[in-house]
Amino acid sequence: MNIYPFTGVGIGPGDPELITLKGLKALQQADVVYYPATRVEGTNVVSFSKRIIDHYDLLCPCKPLHFPMKPASRHDDYRQAWETVKADIVRGLRVAVVSEGDLLFYSTFGYLLRLAKAEGFDCDLIPGIPAFIHTASIGQLPLVDEDRSITVMARPGSFDKVQQALDANEVVVVMKMSILRDDWAAFVKQCNRPFFYIEKAGTPDQFFTSDVTELAAREIPYFSLIVFQ
């Protein structure tokens, strides 16, 4: 029996057409595709990745891997997800797991990869476009050039941490902003720095602005980021 490599495919930040040709080919050749999902309100399953791969009209089964993302059970969730994937791999199936954005950039896939490598499985990884790279294209922002520096951070614990990054670097990207429930507009205003805010990049619900008054009217969702220049 052939044991195929454990395949990971980054599918980009939201626009289904931003997958690579190699990534799409891997999904089309897979026997089963798994996507990250979160169960909310009892039985409802939410998956940003599923909305992307639905556009590809894949012929193989597409199944959720549930990640409740509660700190107390996180490692058990990853282990259970890996055992589900591994069972299909050892059956001789071509297994692909997708991740929005890139596989190894603030992604749950990295935890599955560590478990796979720890057990000696071959892995084939196909990178995707991170949300902040897509954001730069949407805003037509040269992120860095010449000798400028950049910091990318996610889920900052406080505005003080964001300010420290701003004090130390010329360009700062903050992803998953919603962890801070305070007034982002007030913070941006006092920073007095050019900024570009975007939410749900590449989807029909995409919104972006460089106007602090428009930012003040937004309820910051999970899939959001801001670039300070």
Structural domain of residue 88, as residue ranges?
6-126
Same domain, yes or no, for 84 and 56? yes
Give bridge partners of residue 224 from the DSSP assignment.
199
pTM of the entire structure?
0.91
**CATH number for the domain that contains residue 16:** 3.40.1010.10
What mean pLDDT is reported for the chain? 92
Query: Which of 65, 98, 126 is the C-terminal boundary of a domain?
Result: 126
Work out the number of other CB atoms within 10 angstroms of the CB of residue 199: 21
Q: Which of 150, 182, 177 is nearest to 166 (CA)?
A: 150
Boundary-marking domain end, from 92, 111, 126: 126
Mean pLDDT across the stretch 128-154? 92
- My answer on whether 57 and 34 are in the same domain is yes
**What is the per-residue DSSP string for 133-150?**
HHHHHHHT-----TT--E
Domain count of the chain? 2
The answer as to whether 1 is a domain residue is: no
Task: State residue 70's pLDDT score.
Answer: 63
For the segment 160-164, the average pLDDT, to the nearest whole number, is 93
115 and 155, same domain (yes or no): no
Q: What angle in degrees, to the nearest 10, is found between the helix axes of 109-118 and 74-90?
A: 60
Q: Express each pLDDT in 23-79 by its tens digit.
A: 999 999 999 999 999 866 655 678 899 999 999 999 999 999 988 666 666 788 899
Read off the tokens for 20.
């690579």
Is residue 156 in a domain?
A: yes
- pLDDT digit string (tens) for 173-200? 999 998 887 789 999 999 889 999 999 9
Q: Looking at the domain assignment, is residue 189 inside a domain?
A: yes
85-133 pLDDT, tens digit each: 999 999 999 999 999 999 999 998 999 999 999 999 999 999 999 999 9
pLDDT band of residue 137 (cuts 50, 70, 90) is very high
CB 162 within 8 A of CB 172: yes
Is residue 39 domain-resident? yes
**Whole-angstrom distance between the N-terminal and C-terminal Cα of the chain?**
54
